[in-house]
Amino acid sequence: MKILTVALIGLATLFAANTHADEGLSLGASVGYVEIQDSDPGFDFDANDTGYKIFASYTASSYLGIEGGYIDFGSPEDIVGGFPGEIDASGWNLYGVGNLPLSDGVDVFAKAGFVSWEADSIIDGILVDTEDGTDLALGLGARWNSGGSFGLRAEVDWFDIDEADSVWMASVGFELRF
């Protein structure tokens, strides 16, 4: 996964344009705080970790776009039934994105779509359960573009994963626009 991330960043840097583009392709990566809460009988879990995501987006107009990517929810750890427990989760997501330009180079966005995820539940080093599914994903954020190909973004994503009470991520990252 690290090789893919480095390759995407290198490729984007090599081909990035030097003009501000409201429309077109962008690639990026974010890192942030992930929290997973799950209160199933026998598996009461509430923990956080650092997660990351890589994404590609295409903006068809100043107001509408599409975004897809990979998200790693980290491996939050908690005590479960007196033993160390961990949830190791990741997924692929796809969103429709609505943008609202506020000023030159600054906009806010909202996104709605789905996440196709897989999670391993581990107690005391033993894999006790593997689950997967496809569920609703929502997000809100803001981005700033330097006037060139490089931009920064901050966002919060919420995932309505049926197998958990709450899964969300707050992240900051960068975008390279083409």
Instruction: Please give the tally of structural domains in the chain.
Output: 1
Contact residues for 157 (Cβ-Cβ < 8 A; gap 6+): 71, 137, 138, 139, 168, 169, 171
* Residue 148: partners with Cβ closer than 8 Å, 6 or more residues away: 16, 17, 18, 19, 20
Q: Which domain holds residue 30?
A: 2-177
CATH number at residue 60: 2.40.160.20
Mean pLDDT per 10-residue run, the chain (178 residues)? 44 36 85 91 86 96 94 93 91 96 91 96 90 96 88 96 89 94
How confident is the model at residue 58, as a pLDDT? 95
